[in-house]
Amino acid sequence: MDRVRPLEGKTAIVTGASQGIGRGIALCLGRAGAQVVVNYLDDSAAASSVVEEIERAGGAAVAIQADVTKRADAERLVARTVDAFGTIDILVNNAGTGLSKPFAEFTEADWDLLIEVDLKSVFLCCQAAGAVMRRQGSGAIINIASVAAKLALPYRTVYSTIKAGVMMFTASLATEWAPHHIRVNCIAPGTILTPLVEKNFATGSLEPDKVLDRTPLRRFGEPEEIGQAVVFLASDAAAYITGQTLAVDGGWSIWGGWTPEQALREMP
């Protein structure tokens, strides 16, 4: 495998790619040689900035507006991608939203919003892009979930449930589409320094010191660290990997609660 540009000549769609984790993923795919479709909902300036950064680095990219919670938009996104680059080799379902609040205060509208953005969009984009991938007999799909999908957290009952749905969707679809040589995998990010996380730090809804205390590597993740994991899962280096969820979280999801120093003190 070309270690510098392992995705040379491949075409990738990244949903929700104008900022945050999606932006980091798009930039990494571009550096890896992929032609990147930067999907966005309403911030055309931010999406154009991502395209320009990819192009400055010698890559090819185009921004395409689409509300991926709507079937017509998801299908248009795929059609315009094929018009621009001829095919689709990689789909990254990154578009998402979060909401933390007491379950008793959750409204039906809150539920519908999270279902549509975090799960329905994955369903629609996989159906639309998958039609192209099945015809060509190859493809790689990477869905973005969360460490909250596997661990119970207060005030995230709905979000965690839906992200767990993304993980099972990934595993099930991987078994169904394996005969078409389409691999489907998932990434579960931990606390990544995105504009939303930084806003949560500023408002006090997320306490940085407590997150770091709970993270063995004692730092936050960067969006492009999720992007690097996406590049790996989309590349031939991961050709025998499908149906899996990769946690990229600094060890947050596996930590047993003791620091190395505490563990030594607790030894008999």
Asked which of 3-7, 29-33, 36-40, 56-60 is least confident by mean pLDDT, the reply is 3-7
pLDDT of 205 reads 76
Residue 39 CA to residue 26 CA, distance in Å, equals 10
Is 155 labeled as catalytic in the residue annotation? no
| Segments of the chain assigned E as strands | 11-14, 35-40, 61-65, 90-93, 139-144, 182-189, 245-248
Would the CA dihedral through 102, 103, 107, 110 be positive or negative? positive
Token pair, residue 261, equals 């120093």
Say if strands 61-65 and 35-40 run parallel, antiparallel, or are unpaired. Answer: parallel
Burial status of residue 228 (CB atoms within 10 A of its CB: 0-12, 13-18, 19 or more)? middle
- How many beta carbons lie within 10 A of that of residue 234, not counting itself? 28
How far separated are the first and last CA of the chain, in Å rounded? 49
pLDDT at 33 over 60: yes
pLDDT of 266 reads 64
Nearest Cα to 88, choosing from 70, 103, 75?
A: 75
pLDDT of 1 reads 41
pLDDT of 199 reads 85
The mean of the pLDDT values for the chain is: 94
Model confidence pLDDT, tens digit, residues 101-134: 899 999 999 999 999 999 999 999 999 999 999 9
The type of residue at 202 is A
pLDDT at 268 over 70: no
pLDDT of 113 reads 97
| Domain spans, the chain | 11-266
pLDDT at 267 over 70: no
pLDDT band at 259 (very low <50, low <70, confident <90, very high): confident
In the chain, what percentage of residues exceed pLDDT 70? 98
Which of the following is catalytic: 40, 155, 159, 240?
A: 159
CA dihedral 38, 43, 44, 45 (to 10 degrees): -110
Asked which of 173-182, 200-209, 213-222 is least confident by mean pLDDT, the reply is 200-209
pLDDT of 2 reads 43
**Stated pTM of the model:** 0.94
Specify the CATH architecture of the domain 11-266: 3-Layer(aba) Sandwich (3.40)
Nearest Cα to 159, choosing from 192, 127, 94, 114?
A: 114
